[in-house]
Amino acid sequence: MINKEHAIIRTSDLFDAKHLLRFYASENMYGALLDGKREPILPNQSELEELLQNKDATQSFYAVEDKEGNLHGFIVLKGINQEALFGEIILLFDNQTYLTNSPLIHDALEFIENKAFRQLHLKKLVTTCIDEEEPLKNFLQQHLYILAGIMREVLFARGKWHNLETWVKLSSTTN
């Protein structure tokens, strides 16, 4: 468990599955929750429990709580490629967290970037989001992530086509 200024960051466990499920069941779509084929999925709680219980060594899955112990979101560092020196991060918080510029998400991002750039010596972090995730895109831009590419109309969900954007941050841009 890591005690940050505003957040408590801990390794997630199977008991976090019900909280993770609320993101899948949300009216909002999250690029972080698309499967390998870039399609939305809706797992059940037991599937998420299994996922959280059987994390492999190439994935770091963390829960982010406030100081009162209320879970607000998740951060993940996955797909770490030591040879190519990059990894993928997932920031999974509700839009309100980004819109209010919550100190919890700042603590979470600082933690995961420190792990990636300073502990694992990665040179690049990558994340993806759907075109409708404006609060996340604004947050990423404020934290020196740059838009590296857009896959246009790659996802058909909720009756329309969506773009999937890739955002990148290089270690030389970390503060």
Domain CATH code at residue 144: 3.40.630.30
Q: How many domains does the chain have?
A: 1
- Per-residue pLDDT 10s for the chain (175 aa) are 899 999 999 999 989 999 999 999 988 889 888 887 778 888 999 999 888 887 664 468 999 999 999 999 999 998 888 788 999 999 999 878 877 788 999 999 999 999 999 999 999 999 999 999 999 999 999 999 999 999 999 998 888 999 999 999 999 754 4
Query: Distance between CA atoms of 15 and 9, rounded to whole angstroms?
Result: 15
For 163, the domain range is 2-173
Global pTM reads 0.87
Tokens 């919550």 sit at which residue?
A: 102
